[in-house]
Amino acid sequence: MAIHPLAVVDPEASVHPDASIGPFCCLRGKVVVEAGVELRNHVTVYGRTTIGRGSILFPNCVIASDPQDLKFRGEDSEVRIGANCRIHEYVTISKGTAGGGMLTSLGDDCLVMAGAHVAHDCRLGDRVVLGNNSQLAGHVVVGRRATISGMCGVHHFATIGELTFIGAMSGVRYDAPPYCIVDGHPAEVRSLNIVGLRRDGVPDDEIRVLKDVFRALFHDKAPMSEGLVRARDLLPAQETRAHRLVAWAAEHLEASIKGRIQEAHRVAHAAASAQTNGTAQANGKAHANGAVAMNGHANGNGHVNGNGHADGHVATEAKPLTG
């Protein structure tokens, strides 16, 4: 075990004999450093953290710092870094919170470039690439072999699909589908990630099916519901990645939300609607003394139906409630 005399290692830390801890590194708390790990210098790691075998942490990165979350109350949460990861200079990785499963994790063979931030409760799969100065907000989930280019911002609760490529300086507000290239501010689905699919060993015949399914879902001007019907007709009998892409589209269409981001909003909205003053009837009628109709709104002291017509003094245009 090579621990530099200028390193500070907590007695509670567990360092494998084959690991290397460089000068001015600080391990505080129940840190577990597995075989072959190298902490170059000026690396700070707080417990409870596990650094997988063969990983390299470069100068001035900070692992398992307290979350930048006002709800954090000092809970004993955790960070897990997989095997053979490379965490470059000035990277910050926050530990989990009680509201997100108490865990922030990176899979095996991840590359996190200089200046990137992985917030509390994020879950990164294997072989994820996070570019320079990109920022993942809390609760983000990143699928296997996804690439997030430099200077991207990913909104909290967003999910980045498997083999998805996010273009540089993109602002990702909603879930990004698997196997696609997503780019822009706000980020939008642009095309299929054919290069990434080939690098992952996907055969050409499966890529051709994915192209047809992608075109039906995202490039045709018809509504997603119609595109989903056409995409299902294109699926082969055997389970393929095209089935997963269609399943992703069906799930998002059924939920009627733009990804996991809206989960908390929809729950809060439903609770507020249930407590609305007055009585709301199933046929869309409501009293205008503060009650809200299912299919319309009203002002004044009259009744309003779902079409916006008033029985009393004033009625407003009917608008469907949205989540």
- Positions annotated as catalytic residues are 120-121, 138
Q: Cβ(1)–Cβ(13) under 8 Å?
A: no
d(CA 235, CA 242): 7
d(CA 286, CA 291): 6
d(CA 172, CA 152): 8
Q: Cα 33 from chain centroid?
A: 27
What length does the chain have? Answer: 323
Q: Which among 161, 186, 156, 171 is positioned nearest to 249, based on CA atoms?
A: 161
Q: Cβ(84)–Cβ(103) under 8 Å?
A: no
Q: How many Cβ atoms sit within 10 Å of the Cβ of residue 317?
A: 8
Can you read off the two tokens belonging to residue 172?
């990702």
Question: Across the beta sheet with 14-15, what order do the strands follow?
Answer: 14-15, 31-33, 49-51, 78-81, 103-106, 123-124, 141-142, 159-160
| Residue 35 CA: distances (Å) to CA of 15, 20, 109 | 8, 9, 15
d(CA 154, CA 261): 11
Can you read off the two tokens belonging to residue 230?
């056409």
Three-state secondary-structure class, residue 93: strand
15: β partners? 33
